[in-house]
Amino acid sequence: MNGTIAPASSSNTQAARAPLKALIGGALADVMAELGPQFERASGIKLDMAFAPTPQLITWATSDAPFDLAIAPIDMLRDSAIRAYFEDAPPTNIARVGYSVAIREGLPLPDLSTPEAFKTALLAARSVTFLPDSAAGSYVLKAFDHLGIREVMADKTIAQKVPKDIARAVATGDADLGLFLTHVLTGEGVQLAGPFPTDLQHELVFIAAVARRAGNAASAHALIKFLQTDEAAKTIRACGMQTG
């Protein structure tokens, strides 16, 4: 989708000038660190971005605190009670990404080619790290369930609170394996060991949805339109995700 983003118009001048309050999944922090300023320059709309794992985003969205839109894992809107806090229009797909394993730079790559090989690598690890309290972390736990090793892995798991700390824990040697969305398993001192095996692979889709009681609905729709432009798509892909 081509085209520039015009400043949002609104009959309520004060609302149009207010910052656009966006609740955003923590795994999109690096992506939006690039796209947020691009949108502000293109539209003249100021962004107020709050990043958190999905459970915290749900808490914020269902509280009395005002917000204009959410850019989050699609899991957030699967519950009809949560969906009621957003406009009736279908949410817009923004980006998607699969799951991978990270190890410390320079170490031999484990075999992840099949579920059985993946299971062997997990059981051989002294410790693993990810963010259990998130939509992506929930899927990692489901993978453990599928392999029949959830209880064993619970004793090996170093839980993180923000995605960027997963790679950091691997780089320092605090954890042998980092398990999460591929695009966040990057950083100095870490390397990708490979994706989850095909039978266990899954893409997490990030969507954008406007709040039913948004004070800045026009600006929220302008941001969604911007996130669908070719320019935004280039940034999304450069950050290791796919569009749509």
Query: pLDDT for 141-172, tens place per residue?
Result: 999 999 999 999 999 999 999 999 999 999 99
Note whether 13-96+205-243 and 99-200 share their fold: yes
pLDDT value at position 20?
Answer: 97
Query: What pLDDT does 54 receive?
Result: 95
CATH H superfamily, domain 99-200 = Periplasmic binding protein-like II (3.40.190.10)
**In the numeric block, which tokens belong to residue 138?**
């929930």
Q: What pLDDT was estimated at residue 15?
A: 46
Cα 75 to Cα 22, 56, 197, distances in angstroms: 17, 13, 22
Structure tokens at 31: 């992506």
The domain at 13-96+205-243 falls in which architecture?
Answer: 3-Layer(aba) Sandwich (3.40)
Domain spans in the chain, listed from the N-terminal domain onward: 13-96+205-243, 99-200
d(CA 219, CA 210): 10
Q: How far apart are CA 94 and CA 28, in angstroms?
A: 11
Q: From residue 87, give the alpha-carbon distance in Å to each of 37, 65, 169, 243.
A: 26, 17, 39, 22
- Whole-number CA gyration radius for the chain: 19
